[in-house]
Structure 1
Amino acid sequence: MTTTDITTAQDARHQPLTEADKLHQDAESAAQVRRLANHPDVIALRVEKVRTQIDVLLRVGIFLGLAFTMVNVQAFAASGAPVWSLGWVSAWLLDPMVSLVLVAVLRAEQITARYQVETGRWAHRTKWFAFLATYVMNTWKSWTHLDVAGVALHSVPPVLVFLAAETAPVLRDKLTEAVMKAAGHAFTGETDTQETTPAAEVTPSVAAETPDSEQPVPTPALSPAPAPRRTTRKAKAPAKPGRKLRGDYLAEARAAWAPGIEITPAWVREVCPDVSRGTSKNVADDLIAETATAPTVLPVSVPTTTTARIDSEEAA
């Protein structure tokens, strides 16, 4: 036996693995990796890393933009004051004052966006005011001198800071939504295998029973199964016409009424025991309206029919 034969792939029993065994191991390993990759905790960890990267990049961009605007705001606030004078030194405090408030709002939105909580109108108003104040103080001199290049140069940093401040909560909200959706579809790989394995176990059992019984009856036995369901549905349909409507109760009350009987809901309930109180009132009102318009038609209707039948019998 050569050295190459000894170093061939072997399993725990020191038997060489076939190509099918290797593929089976690869398939199991790939399925396990897929299940773990779709695990909500793994997805949440990956999203958290992306969230951290986005927060760091946005913070760096915002701080660089605010640092660039600080010089212009100081020059606007100093307005020609001597260097190192009280007005010149205090002018350096204006931009940090606005920037710190803006950063505080962004920091709060970073936490609220994680749990998808609305910060309210005042947070948006504060960001808008901080942006407008920074933009006006940065571009005031350029607008007064109608310097187009200066307006474009000093407009880019404040606008970029404002867009980053408005985009950051939206991105965090979408990342949280992605984690929630991943938690809703947890272990998709395991559910797929659980749904497919019962079908694979049932079909061989049916195929194994057919040669023993030698009667190919299982397939015909399944086809008549829907027939009883159709008959039961059709059997329930005639139950709907048996339900009495308002016109049926009115016909019964009309047949039982005679001149001299006071038509009331209580009398209708006596004539029709299965009528409800609301329907009995409606039937009584309808019958009263009929008797009020044509009181003599109802009692005469029965004798006319009987005499017509007697005349027809005598003629026969």
Structure 2
Amino acid sequence: MSIETVAGPQDAQHVPLSEADKLRQDAESAAQVRRLANHPDVIALRVEKVRTQIDVLLWVGIFLGLAFTMVNVQAFAASGAAVWSLAWLSAWLLDPMVSLVLVAVLRAEQITARYQVQTGRWAHRTKWFAFLATYVMNTWKSWTHLDIAGVALHSVPPVLVFLAAETAPVLRDKLTEAVMAAAGHAFTGEANTQETAPAAEVTPSAPAETPDAEEPVPTPALSPAPAPRRTTRKAKAPAKQGRKLRADYLAEARAAWAPGIEITPAWVREVCPEVSRGTSKNVADDLIAETRTAPTVLPVPAPTTTARTDSEEAA
């Protein structure tokens, strides 16, 4: 009878859990949720959802702004032509012609910014020309009549479309950097767990290499002992270089810069091909600030020549 009474309470379905068991289960489930929430794939999936929402909102705003400017551009192109005449009908083609080219450039930047690839100068120039043409044709009559209210009214949609188109690649670039940062943190965390294992294997070999019987002779034999420690330190270096920081790009740009070179984000991207667009601008600003505040120290070769002449005279 005693054995049956002992086996009964071990069944969790019949015995209620204690408060400590409930807290233990909650802690285990919370730790599992935290590990999965910080997983790079889960973070990438969340970023993709946010990226989709941002793209939808930006495209809706851009199309609404371009649709608003279509009427004013048509009135500017028709310039008093009779309604339903050939000139009046052809005036409706001007704004869609400019808008379609602009949308094509923005669509290409949407894909290239996802993978942090630069579109080039011609795409940027085409986008600027399309915006300037739309703004001028949209506000021309208001400027000629000095209608301040009309200028303000017809300036808001083109400027808002321009700001949305310029901000969209930067936002997509930052979202990509967020995914890469999450993957980089996960990589360094795995590397740290792998680096701790060889350290535990090296430590037990130390007491085996220090015999007390031979004191004068083992001193040269113990000299190669630090060799495995150096190899372990060298093995750690490539594992930590999973992702460059802003200071690393700044150091590379500082080493490549020379007096006379104009510091621009494009030049930083040429020196550091893997840098993103937003980081290149920050690195360029930091390097410009350093070059402005850094003193010019040029009379360094003078003491070296004098020191050589003094040594030659002494010889």
User: Could you say which TM-score interval applies, normalised by the shorter chain?
Assistant: 0.5 to 0.7
Partner SS state of residue 185, structure 1: helix
Report deviation, 1:185.
1.6
Partner SS state of residue 96, structure 1: helix
Unmatched segments (≥5 aa) in structure 1: 1-9, 197-220, 222-231, 237-288, 295-316
1:164 and 2:164 correspond:
yes
Unmatched segments (≥5 aa) in structure 2: 1-9, 197-206, 208-218, 224-311
Rg larger for: 1
Q: Is the 8 A contact 1:76 1:138 kept in 2?
A: yes
1:17 and 2:17 correspond:
yes
- Partners of 1:11 and 1:130 in 2: how far apart? 75
Aligned to 2:86: 86
- Partners of 2:30 and 2:190 in 1: how far apart? 13
What residue identity is the alignment partner of 1:53? Q
- Partners of 1:99 and 1:63 in 2: how far apart? 9
Partner SS state of residue 17, structure 1: coil
What residue identity is the alignment partner of 1:140? W
Q: Deviations over 1:33-54 (max 9, x none)?
A: 0000001111011000000000
Alignment of 1:84-123 (within 5 A): 84-123=84-123
Partner SS state of residue 52, structure 1: helix
Residues 190 and 36 of structure 1, relative CA distance in 2, 3 Å threshold: farther
Partner SS state of residue 118, structure 2: coil
Q: Is the 8 A contact 1:38 1:188 kept in 2?
A: no
- Partners of 2:120 and 2:40 in 1: how far apart? 30
- Partners of 1:14 and 1:45 in 2: how far apart? 42
- Partners of 1:109 and 1:55 in 2: how far apart? 12
Aligned residues: 203
Residues 188 and 35 of structure 1, relative CA distance in 2, 3 Å threshold: farther
Please, what TM-score do these two structures have when normalized by structure 2? 0.57
Please, what TM-score do these two structures have when normalized by structure 1? 0.57
- Partners of 2:13 and 2:54 in 1: how far apart? 51
Alignment of 1:158-307 (within 5 A): 158-186=158-186
What residue identity is the alignment partner of 1:159? V
Report deviation, 1:14.
2.8
Q: Deviations over 1:157-204 (max 9, x none)?
A: 0000001010000000000010011111228998999999xxxxxxxx
1:46 and 2:42 correspond:
no
- Partners of 1:181 and 1:67 in 2: how far apart? 39
- Partners of 2:64 and 2:112 in 1: how far apart? 24
- Partners of 2:89 and 2:36 in 1: how far apart? 58
Q: Deviations over 1:78-107 (max 9, x none)?
A: 000000000000000000110011111111
Report deviation, 1:15.
2.2
Aligned to 1:150: 150
Partner SS state of residue 186, structure 1: helix
Q: Is the 8 A contact 1:35 1:187 kept in 2?
A: no
Aligned to 1:124: 124
Aligned to 1:204: none
Partner SS state of residue 14, structure 2: coil
What residue identity is the alignment partner of 1:163? L
Aligned to 1:244: none
Aligned to 1:70: 70
Partner SS state of residue 112, structure 2: helix
Aligned to 1:32: 32
Structure 1 stretches of at least 4 aligned residues deviating more than 6 Å after TM superposition: 187-196
Q: Deviations over 1:278-316 (max 9, x none)?
A: xxxxxxxxxxx99xxx9xxxxxxxxxxxxxxxxxxxxxx
- Partners of 2:152 and 2:189 in 1: how far apart? 54
What residue identity is the alignment partner of 1:122? W
- Partners of 1:194 and 1:22 in 2: how far apart? 33
Q: Deviations over 1:215-268 (max 9, x none)?
A: xxxxxx9xxxxxxxxxx8xx99xxxxxxxxxxxxxxxxxxxxxxxxxxxxxxxx
Residues 55 and 11 of structure 1, relative CA distance in 2, 3 Å threshold: farther
- Partners of 2:167 and 2:182 in 1: how far apart? 23
**Please, what is the CA RMSD of the aligned residues?**
3.5
- Partners of 1:111 and 1:191 in 2: how far apart? 32
Partner SS state of residue 186, structure 2: coil
Report deviation, 1:21.
0.6
Residues 23 and 195 of structure 1, relative CA distance in 2, 3 Å threshold: farther
- Partners of 2:56 and 2:23 in 1: how far apart? 44
Report deviation, 1:12.
3.9
Report deviation, 1:16.
1.7
Aligned to 1:259: none
